Amino acid sequence: MKASDTSALFIGPKGEQGEVFSSLWDHLLAVTLQRRAQRFADDPEWQPLSTKAHPSDYAVVQSALEELLDLLREEIPTFSPRYLGHMVSDVSIPALLGHMAMLFENANLASREAALVGSALETEAINLLANMVGLDPKPARGHFTSGGTLANFEAVWRARYRLDHWLALGVWLKVNGYSDSPLFEWAHCGWSVYHEHMNRHELSEQDLLSYSSVVMGPLAMSRFVLENFKEEWPEPVMLVPGNKHYSWPKAANIFGLGREAVWSCDLDDKGRLDPAGLRAQIERAEEAGRPIMMVVSVAGTTELGMIDPVDQVADLLDGLCEHRGLHIWHHVDAAYGGYFCSVLQGDSCALSATSKAALRAFPRASSLTLDPHKLGFVPYACGAFLVPDANAYLVSNIQAPYLEAIADAKFPSWSTTLEGSRAATGPSAVWLSAKIMPLNAEGHGGFLNRSLLITRTLHEAVARVSPEIRMLDLSDTNVICFAIASEGDTVSEANRKTDRVIAHFRDSPELSATRTGLSVENYGGLVANTVAQWRGSVDSDQLTVVRMVVMNPYLDDEAIAQNIQALLEDSLRPALG
Ligand SMILES: *Cc1c(COP(=O)(O)O)cnc(C)c1O
Query: What CATH number does residue 158 fall under?
Result: 3.40.640
pLDDT value at position 6? 57
355 & 413 share domain: no
Q: What is the pTM of this model?
A: 0.95
Q: For residue 400, name the pLDDT band (cuts at 50, 70, 90).
A: very low
Instruction: Indicate whether 131 pLDDT > 70.
Output: yes
Instruction: Indicate whether 549 pLDDT > 50.
Output: yes
Mean pLDDT, rounded, for 174-189? 94
Mean pLDDT, rounded, for 481-487? 97
Task: Say how many residues make up the chain.
Answer: 577
Q: How many domains does the chain have?
A: 3
> Which residue range is the domain that position 470 belongs to?
445-576
C-alpha of residue 221 to centroid of ligand 1, in Å: 33
User: Measured between alpha carbons, how far apart are the two ends of the chain, in Å?
Assistant: 47
Atom of ligand 1 nearest to the CA of 334: 13
Query: Mutation test of ligand 1: which of 310, 336, 378 has the most ligand atoms closer than 8 Å to its C-beta?
Result: 336
270 & 296 share domain: yes
Q: Rounded to the nearest 5°, which phi and psi values hold at 56?
A: -65, -20
324 & 254 share domain: yes
pLDDT value at position 473? 94
36: which residues sit within 8 A by CB, 6+ positions away?
none
Nearest CA to ligand 1 atom 10: 148
124 & 197 share domain: no
26-61 confidence digits (pLDDT tens): 999 999 999 999 999 999 988 876 655 566 667 888
The angle formed by the CA atoms of residues 5, 8 and 11, to the nearest 5 degrees, is 155
Query: Mutation test of ligand 1: which of 339, 369, 373 has the most ligand atoms closer than 8 Å to its C-beta?
Result: 369
Atom of ligand 1 nearest to the CA of 298: 13
434 & 466 share domain: no
Query: Which amino acids bring their CB within 6 angstroms of ligand 1?
Result: 87, 147-149, 152, 245, 247, 298, 302, 333, 335-336, 371, 383
160 & 298 share domain: yes
Atom of ligand 1 nearest to the CA of 383: 7
DSSP readout, 59-89?
HHHHHHHHHHHHHHTTS--TTSTTB-SSS--
Query: Mutation test of ligand 1: which of 87, 146, 250, 333 has the most ligand atoms closer than 8 Å to its C-beta?
Result: 333
Closest by CA to 81, choosing from 571, 549, 572, is 549
C-alpha of residue 355 to centroid of ligand 1, in Å: 19
Specify the DSSP class assigned to residue 409.
-
Q: What percentage of the chain has pLDDT greater than the value 70?
A: 95
432 & 449 share domain: no
435 & 461 share domain: no
398/483: higher pLDDT:
483
365 & 272 share domain: yes
pLDDT value at position 2? 44
Q: For residue 163, name the pLDDT band (cuts at 50, 70, 90).
A: very high
C-alpha of residue 32 to centroid of ligand 1, in Å: 34
C-alpha of residue 306 to centroid of ligand 1, in Å: 14
pLDDT value at position 402? 47
Mean pLDDT, rounded, for 373-387? 98
Q: What percentage of the chain has pLDDT greater than the value 90?
A: 79
Strands 237-241 and 262-265: parallel
359 & 503 share domain: no
Mean pLDDT, rounded, for 443-472? 94
